[in-house]
Amino acid sequence: MLRKKHLAMILSKLEGFHNPKPDLEQYRTPGDVAAELLWIASGDIRGSTVADLGAGTGVLTVGACLMGAKEVYAVEIDPEAIEVLGRNLESLGLSGKVRVLREDVAEFSDRVDVVVMNPPFGSQNPHSDRPFLSKAFEVADVVYSIHLAKPEVRGFIKAFAIDHGFMPDLIKTLQFEIPAIFSFHRRRLERIKVDIYRLYVEPR
């Protein structure tokens, strides 16, 4: 049986972005944050079809496979990230479980059981999280997502989910480190706080 700490360690050792692109908000999910999300989502992931929107180097895709997903769609627009993702899958023997789709999330159209995602936070391009949330609400009834832990973001996520017929459940708030190239600060790493949500359609 895989333990949460072990999962976090495996995920933090994966190959990361080589030259992260600020306009795409390419920062990988830290292993411990990803493991936390996957742990919370484990009941929904086991035996299910999962989509990872904006999969990047595949932290959540790999994690979903290790948590027993039947199949994972990794949707990512950047070919360089996809190369890294492919190597990460191969290094763990997971390529057979994952369908990698090089496209804009807006183009993804397969129905899945659950979406896991760490979308752009919208700090570089305001509202860049919206196409991710809209797509997730379109293709799944259960969505796990990571967003900035700020009052205005919380208000937006809640209203946007309810607008789409989803219940917003803020499950956990965690520290998240992002490289300074994504901010105007002097520090090498900036610590921010993020919220992990479960957004879901209430079963009738």
Site of interaction with ligand SAH (CB under 6 A): 24-29, 54-57, 59-60, 75-78, 81, 104-105, 118, 120, 131
d(C-alpha 149, C-alpha 63), whole Å: 23
Do residues 50 and 64 make contact, with C-beta atoms less than 8 angstroms apart? yes
Residue with tokens 């570089």: 124
Smallest distance from ligand SAH to CB 202, Å:
27
d(C-alpha 13, C-alpha 101), whole Å: 23
Nearer to ligand SAH, 18 or 165 (CB): 18
Nearer to ligand SAH, 28 or 198 (CB): 28
Smallest distance from ligand SAH to CB 63, Å:
9
Smallest distance from ligand SAH to CB 150, Å:
18
Q: Which two tokens stand for residue 199?
A: 């957004």
Nearer to ligand SAH, 38 or 161 (CB): 38
Smallest distance from ligand SAH to CB 142, Å:
17
Evaluate the CA torsion angle 146, 148, 154, 159 in order and state its sign: negative
